[in-house]
Amino acid sequence: MLKSFRPLAYLAAAALVGATGLGLASRQTVKAQGSVGTPSILEFRWDGNKDFKKLYYYVSNTERTQWGEYFLVLRAKDRKAAILKLSITIPSYFNTNIDPKNVKLCYTSVGGYAKRTKCEETIPAEIQLTDNGKRIDIFPTTPVPPDKAIAVVFNVSNPVNGGMFQFNA
């Protein structure tokens, strides 16, 4: 009788090892997915001021103190008129320095699962940091028409304090 349970015991042990290996693989997948800096389905905006537009975003690197390229995207369907001035507020707890020389405004192709977000053409603009570096004011040399997606792109060293940062336009 005991010999008839032995193959079942081996099968159970193999299933346990297989399930454990599968669990480790799924944990690695979750970590890889968590490092992507794009919004999720359950995104929450704690400052839902109707005067601000939601900025879709992509961050190339989310590791603390590492350099990352931030894309703050305004899609064409979110705009009804040409842009003469664009102001972006930076959270007070986003503790890093943004250099205006590293900020640009561009027409962008919005990425997704199969392709990445990237600048297609830089839009000539004057860029200023105001409010002690907590607001980016962008003045395009010509009005930006509402028929294409645009992005404010900047390279910055990620803050030491990780967290969720809400940029508003």
pLDDT interval class at 47 (50, 70, 90): low
Q: Which residues face 164 on adjacent strands?
A: none
Cα separation, 97 vs 99, in Å, equals 6
Average pLDDT over residues 138-155: 94
pLDDT band at 52 (very low <50, low <70, confident <90, very high): low
The residues near 110 (Cβ < 8 Å, ≥ 6 apart) are: 56, 73, 75, 117, 149
Instruction: Output the pLDDT for position 141.
Output: 96
Instruction: Check whether 155 has a pLDDT greater than 70.
Output: yes
Task: Calculate mean pLDDT across residues 37-45.
Answer: 46
Which pLDDT does position 23 carry in this prediction?
Answer: 39
68 touches 158 (CB < 8 A): yes
CA dist 166 and 94 (Å) reads 9
Global pTM reads 0.67
Instruction: Provide the residue ranges of all domains of the chain, joining segments of one domain with +.
Output: 1-34, 56-157
Does residue 100 sit in helix, strand or coil? helix
Mean pLDDT of the 24-48 span: 43
28 vs 33: CA distance, rounded Å: 9
Residue located via tokens 């040399």: 141
Looking at residue 10, its pLDDT comes to: 42
Of 152 and 49, the one with more pLDDT: 152
pLDDT at 13 over 90: no
Predicted pLDDT of residue 107: 95
Of residues 77 and 25, the one with the higher pLDDT is 77
Q: Mean pLDDT of all residues in the chain?
A: 74
pLDDT reported for residue 64: 85
